[in-house]
Structure 1
Amino acid sequence: MAAAQKKKREEMSGIERLSLRVSSMINHPVAQIQRWVTIHRLETDGEREWEEVMGLLSEAECIDMTFNDDESVTLRWEAAAEEDPPAEIAEPEDEPAPF
C-alpha cells in the first residue's frame, strides 16, 4: 500500500501539488474562521505552476490577493451568504381575524 501511495505521489504534477496545498490551506478550519491565509512559495513550486495557480486565484471575484514583500501571497475573503447568521423573522402579532 505504501508503494502505491508513493507512486501516486510521484505521478502528481507540480501544479496539482501546489493546487492541493493551496486548497488545503484555504479550507483549513483556522483559515475559515479568520477568513484569510498566507501562502508561501516553496522551493519545489515551479515558476510556471506558481503563476498559473496565482492567476486562477486572481480570477476569483470573492478573493482579495495581497502580494507581500517576501514573495508570499495573502488571500482574504468574505463570509459566504450561507455562513452568515440567519436573519431573524419577526413573529406576527396576535391580531383578531378581520372576518
Structure 2
Amino acid sequence: MAKKQAKPAVRQEMHGVERLGLRVSGMINHPIAQERRWVKIHRLDTDGDREWDEVMGLLAETDGIDMTFNDDESVTLKWEASAEEDRPIEVFEPVEEPAPF
C-alpha cells in the first residue's frame, strides 16, 4: 500500500507592516493595557522606517487615541474608556427555588 505524500504547506511571508501592526495590536489589546488604558510601544531594530511611519500614521488617524512620541523613539498611546466600558456590570443572582420533594 503506497502512502500518500502530503503536499508541502505554502508559507506566506508576512510583510513588515503586517508584522508591526500585529505586534502593536497585541500590545494594545493586552489585558493590562486595557485596564490601564495606555501602552508604550518600543521601536525594534527590525522595524523599518516606512513600516513604522505607516503604522504610526494609522494610529494618529484613529479617534480617541492620544499619542506621545518619547525621546527614546518609543510611542505612548493613551485612550479613554469607551461607552461600553462605562456601563455598570450586571450581576446575575439565581433565585433559589424550594426542592420539589
TM-score normalised per structure 1: 0.77
Which 4+ runs in 1 deviate beyond 6 A? none
Task: Looking at secondary structure, tell me which structure has more helix per residue.
Answer: 1
Superposed counterparts of 1:9-88, under 5 Å:
11-86=13-88
Structure 1 residues 4 and 84: alpha-carbon distance in aligned structure 2, compared to 1, 3 A threshold: farther
Q: Give the Cα separation in 2 of the matches to 1:30 and 1:4.
A: 36
List alignment gaps of at least 5 residues for structure 1: 87-99
Matched residues, number: 81
SS of match in other structure, 1:66: strand
List alignment gaps of at least 5 residues for structure 2: 1-7, 89-101
State, as a whole percentage, how many aligned pairs show the same letter.
73
* Alignment partner, residue 92 of structure 2: none
Q: Give the Cα separation in 2 of the matches to 1:51 and 1:85.
A: 36
SS of match in other structure, 1:15: helix
Q: CA deviation at 1:4?
A: 4.9
Provide, for residues 53-90 of structure 1, a one-character-per-residue CA deviation record: whole Å limited to 9, x for no partner: 0000000111000000000000000001001133xxxx
* Alignment partner, residue 89 of structure 1: none
Q: Give the Cα separation in 2 of the matches to 1:4 and 1:36.
A: 39
TM-score normalised per structure 2: 0.76
SS of match in other structure, 2:66: strand
